[in-house]
Amino acid sequence: MIRARRARIVATLGPASRAPGMVKALAEAGVDVFRLNFSHGSHEDHAAALKAVRGAELALQRPLGVLADLQGPKLRLGRFANVEIDIKPGHKMRFDLDPTPGDATRVEMPHPEIFRALRTGMLLLLDDGRVRLRVNDRTDEWADVTVESGSKLSDRKGVAVPEAVVPVSALTPKDREDLAFALRIGVDWVALSFVQKPEDMAELKSIVKGRAACLAKIEKPQALADLEAILDYCDGVMVARGDLGVEMDPEEVPVAQKAIIRAARRRGVPVIVATQMLESMTASPAPTRAEASDVANAVYEGADALMLSAETASGDYPLEAVGIMNRIMERVEADPLWPSLMDAEHAGMDDIDADALVAAARKAGEAQSTACIVIFTTLGGTARRMSRERPLQPMLALTPKPETARRLSLVWGLEPRLGNEPTSLEDVTDNAVKSAMDFGLAQPGQRILILAGTPFGAPGAANLLRLAHAPARKGKR
């Protein structure tokens, strides 16, 4: 199952898709990584879904990644005595810490950390941005606000503070329980929601301790302002356009998406574009033309992966959504313009041997006789560096570690597979040539580029670039 495209597909599992037969069908249709959304479902649901993924992986003989997406903090209003109130622009009310059910004059906002972060004149967004408020006055225990837009406000609506860093941990008690469970069942990636600052990711990594790769969901303007520092702690990053779109003006979201993708590509950090990619397919067997263009544009931008959420978790057409996303990706990558876009931007080298080596491999790969690149990797670092260069040849990443192969299933252009650790230079060459031919990536006489590291069997950056040729006939090389 070698993919006919480099961009990867992440699909969310849920009631419409977590049955073993459906998981296998989704993988066959093109899913590379399966997302477990811990905002919904029980631990038992997620354990069963992961078991189904591992079963599909075994049946298809292709590594499949599993991403645990933590819910993150949910800042919400309290309750109203009559469930809902009518409001209009100019309406004034108070938010406070009193748990008494509210009315049109006041309501509880049970988050003292928000009051501490507010300043007079700041904007508050409620109900996914449907209600906009301006802070007139505040203390550490209450805030007086004026409605700028909106017509109704009801119980437990979410609160966003786009102009301040709210001093709340990105890991709630629920997240910590979910994280411990996710690591126990053996997920490959963990995504942290509502990252605001580098310390949020540093805390996650200190808990995970290498048992999974760590990904930051960028959905707060504050994270954009500190993006480079956050990326220092990231194994991956997600452009979470849903919540990002709540706290930013609509015209700013596409600009933010491009900035995040560029920053991640420079670092060689895999980047996922998420939210409403094919939203209409939750209830329709075909996407809108705008959605097809949205998917295509993310591929043209060089994103590592695109994510489906409700489309596969609860929608009526999960298989069709994956199939159409796969077709759009393949069509974009067949565009004669696409290779020049992938070649237009390359990361600067860090003046280390591995960076020089992958740059040389990319250059050598431009020869027409080069069929593929075979990368021997233990922890995945060399493979990610090679992917960062966006070579157009297929890249086969051979690793002795199942967890490495599964994590690399998210990375642009890589075909991760399990392979024995080479023990000699001859072993490296023989394994690379045999694997390339077994997977149909090289034909007799074609050149194969090989990246590996010595001493063999020891984790570390690649320091060996070798050229080999697929044998013209059996027994010759």
How many CA atoms lie less than 13 Å away from 90 in the CB half-sphere?
0
Active-site position among 18, 217, 406, 447: 217
Compute the distance between CA of residue 432 and CA of residue 10 in angstroms, rounded to an integer.
28
Residue ranges and CATH numbers for the domains of the chain are: 8-72+169-338 (3.20.20.60), 84-160 (2.40.33.10), 353-469 (3.40.1380.20)
Amino acid, single-letter form, for residue 90? G
SS3 233: coil
**Lowest mean pLDDT segment, chosen from 174-188, 219-233, 442-456:** 442-456
Smallest Cα–Cα separation from 453: which of 304, 352, 351?
352
Residues 319 and 29 sit within 8 Å (Cβ to Cβ): yes
Cα–Cα dist 5/390, whole Å: 12
Q: pTM value?
A: 0.93
SS3 376: strand
Q: Classify the C-alpha dihedral 430-431-437-438 as positive or negative.
A: positive
- What distance in Å separates the CA atoms of residue 14 and residue 114, rounded to the nearest whole number? 33
Contact 166, 124 (CB under 8 A): no
Q: Does residue 76 sit in helix, strand or coil?
A: strand
Average pLDDT over residues 223-240: 96
Element housing 471 (H / E) = none
Confidence of residue 351 (pLDDT cuts 50, 70, 90): low
Report CA dihedral (327, 331, 332, 336) to the nearest 10 degrees. Answer: 170
- 217: annotated active-site residue: yes
Place of tokens 């645990």: 68
Start-to-end Cα distance in the chain = 26
| Pair 142, 120: CB distance under 8 Å | no
Tell me, yes or no, if 35 is annotated catalytic.
yes
pLDDT for 409-419, tens place per residue? 999 999 999 99
The two tokens of residue 430 are 């023989």
DSSP letter assigned to residue 158: B
Burial class of residue 154 (count of CB atoms within 10 Å of its CB; 0-12, 13-18, 19+): middle
Tell me what pLDDT residue 472 has.
Answer: 80
Annotation marks residue 390 as catalytic: no
Averaged pLDDT, 25-52: 97
Distance CA 13, CA 35 (A): 6
CB 125 within 8 A of CB 131: yes
Quote the pLDDT of residue 348: 63
Contact (CB, 8 A) for 338 and 415: no
Position 366 confidence tier, pLDDT thresholds 50, 70, 90: confident
Distance CA 30, CA 196 (A): 33
pLDDT digits 0-9 by tens, 150-200: 999 999 999 999 999 898 889 999 999 999 999 999 999 999 999 999 999
d(CA 126, CA 147): 11
Which one is catalytic: 18, 62, 265, 275? 275
DSSP code of 273? E
Rounded Cα distance between 153 and 161, Å, is 17
The model's pLDDT over 105-152, given as tens digits with 9 standing for 90+, comes to 999 999 999 999 999 999 999 998 999 999 999 999 999 999 999 999
Looking only at the bridges linking them, the beta strands covering 305-308 and 271-274 are: parallel
Express each pLDDT in 243-288 by its tens digit. Answer: 898 888 889 999 999 999 999 999 999 999 999 999 999 999 999 9
Read off the tokens for 303.
């994103």
pLDDT for 139-161, tens place per residue?
A: 999 999 999 999 999 999 999 99
Cβ atoms of 27 and 6 within 8 Å: the answer is no
Residues 61-68, mean pLDDT to the nearest whole number: 98
258 is an active site residue: no
- CB contact burial 444-462 (16+ within 10 A = b; e otherwise): eebbbbbbbbeeeeeeebb
At CB < 8 A and 24+ separation, what contacts does 421-425 make?
Answer: 421/376, 421/378, 421/456, 421/457, 422/376, 422/452, 422/456, 422/457, 423/456, 423/457, 424/456, 425/464, 425/466
**Cα distances (angstroms) measured from residue 286 to each of 29, 125, 152, 317:** 16, 33, 34, 9
76, 94, 331, 434: the catalytic one is 76
- Give yes or no for a contact between 349 and 459, defined as CB atoms under 8 angstroms apart: no
What is the number of other CB atoms lying within 10 angstroms of the CB of residue 21?
A: 10
Q: Does position 476 have pLDDT exceeding 50, yes or no?
A: no
* The pLDDT of residue 71 is above 90: yes
Average pLDDT of the chain to the nearest whole number:
94
Query: What is the pLDDT averaged over residues 41-61?
Result: 97
- Across 7-33, average pLDDT: 98
* Catalytic residue of the set 5, 18, 24, 35: 35
**How far is it, in rounded angstroms, from Cα 142 to Cα 126?**
16
Q: 169: buried, middle or exposed (CB in 10 Å: 19+, 13-18, 0-12)?
A: middle
Instruction: From 268, 351, 247, 262, select the one nearest 301 (Cα to Cα).
Output: 262
The answer, yes or no, to whether residue 316 has pLDDT greater than 50, is yes
Tokens for 77? 């209003």
d(CA 192, CA 215): 6
For residue 477, name the pLDDT band (cuts at 50, 70, 90).
very low
Measured on CA atoms in the order 200, 202, 208, 214, is the torsion positive or negative?
positive
